[in-house]
Amino acid sequence: MKEETLKVKTSNKAVEEHMKKVVPRRVFLTTACKMLAAGILAPMGSLAAILNSSFAGESGETSDWTRVWAGKEWGFIVDTEKCIGCARCVDACKQENQVPPDKEVFRTWVERYVETTQGVSIDSPNGGLDFEPLAETEEKQFFVPKLCNQCENPPCVQVCPVSATYRTGDGVILVDGKRCVGCRYCIQACPYGARFMHPKTHVADKCTWCYHRIAKGMRPACVTVCPVGARKFGNLRDLKDPVTQIIRKERVRGLKTDMGTKPQVFYLGLDEVVV
Amino acid sequence: MIFDRGDKVTIRQEDGNPSAQAVFRIGVILVLAVVIFVIVRQMMIPASFGQYGRYRGNSISENASLNAAYAGSSNDCGECHQQEFMALAQAQHREIDCQSCHGPAAKHVSKPAVTSPIVQETAELCNSCHRQIAGRQDGKIVTVRPLLHSGGVNCTRCHNPHRPQLSFEGDKS
């Protein structure tokens, strides 16, 4: 340590100038810049290395899903001409997927459209389980079952900040309950309102076309219990599948196709007022 | 700090090259930061992440291995409940799955003695499909007004749920 004493003669400038000499600013700045660049580049290099290792090394130990998915692309048809609004599907879905009986949360629900001279009224009391008779009118009245559209271009997957939701190789969007942090971005992003916050698990929840059932060769629960065949489920890659046949031959339409989401639920007999 | 003319100012100066020391310190901090980053990242990212895409690969199996509450179809019931199965197959309710009325029965199929499916004899069950409400037109399904039709009493008093049309056999049988 060496101490230097100087007398301030004219102004504070003298002191400032002396300080500049003590810490050579140019040297400091250039070195600092170099270190900063190195500090940014080094972790990026290591990141790339880790990414490579974790992407390559893992596969093999669990079941090979790419083989399961080969030649499969699930599709869903809702025939609104047939639906009788009995809501057996709503009930079955809740029981199959342990969705709490709350009147706000549904993986699938049935809407009723009633067109009157005053306009269109849409209701879905308790997801369609509690429809009231209403007054009879001569105008259009019909039911529209709704569920996740398993979009080919899913906004919910795009916005998830932790990659807790994804589209499987056979075209179903699933939620990774262990990774989900419950931020609700996906719920906001879904144009169909198909997602909700699960009241018990507190993670995002949605229709999975009963992925656990279709993986075992069964149909989704709602399709199983529909008494009138208003819900159909099939493999779009199989040209002989009745669902594929309907999509190829009949006039089908998805919901909100103008949003570019490419929904994979196809509706038969959908009125233009349906949103 | 305000200095006046004539003040004495003391300036301390570190020994050695000060810039080299500062650079060394920052270097050590950066290296530490990188090491911590790498370790934390290794811990945060699940092993199966990225196996099939930008998500945790094991999550697929977790979703797919959940238990099914509903059995596959009515065919799973026919073996043991031949009478009901045959009755249903010939009647107007033939398109309806047993579990549409009896609820989830996968557990019952594997262990019939342990759990029984719901047997709901109430008018509520039939009404969920047959009650006349706005939107449910006669072209899609035959509808009734429960109060006018039967005074709202249990439909199974007169109709056999597995073979509902009365004129079919004249009586519930």
The residue among B53 and A8 whose pLDDT is bigger is B53
Least confident of A258-262, A271-275, B77-81: A271-275
Amino acid A59: pLDDT: 45
Amino acid A35: pLDDT: 86
CB contact under 8 Å between A169 and B10, yes or no, is no
CB contact under 8 Å between A218 and B72, yes or no, is yes
Q: Which residue has the tokens 């419950």?
A: A182
Tell me the pTM: 0.84
Q: Tokens at residue B47, please?
A: 């092993």
* Residue B8 main-chain phi, psi, to 5 deg: -105, 130
Mutate to test the interface with B, among A142, A213, A228 (most CBs of B within 10 A): A213
How many angstroms away from the CA of B169 is the closest CA of chain A?
Answer: 23
For residue A235, count other CB atoms closer than 10 A to its CB: 18
ipTM of the shown complex: 0.79
Distances (CA, A) of A60 to A49, A194, B173: 21, 34, 58
Amino acid B55: pLDDT: 95
- Give the residue on B whose Cα is nearest the Cα of A136: B134
DSSP annotation of A216 reads T
For residue range A35-89, list pLDDT tens digits in order. 888 877 776 655 655 554 444 444 444 578 999 999 999 999 999 999 999 999 9
Distances (CA, A) of A223 to A14, A213, A214, B73, B156: 87, 11, 11, 10, 26
Helix or strand holding residue A120 (H, E) = strand A119-123
Amino acid A76: pLDDT: 98
For residue range A77-129, list pLDDT tens digits in order. 999 999 999 999 999 999 999 999 999 999 999 999 998 888 898 999 999 99
Amino acid A60: pLDDT: 44
How does residue A139 score in pLDDT terms, banded at 50, 70 and 90? Answer: confident
Does A221 have pLDDT greater than 80?
yes
Handedness of CA A133, A110, A222, B120 (dihedral sign): negative
How high does pLDDT run on average in chain A?
A: 88
Q: What percent of chain B has pLDDT over 90?
A: 62
Domain annotation for chain B: domains and CATH numbers: 2-65 (no CATH), 69-118 (1.10.287), 120-173 (no CATH)
CATH number of A58-275: 3.30.70.20
Q: Is B52 on the interface with A (CB under 8 A)?
A: yes
Using DSSP, state whether B30 is helix, strand or coil. Answer: helix
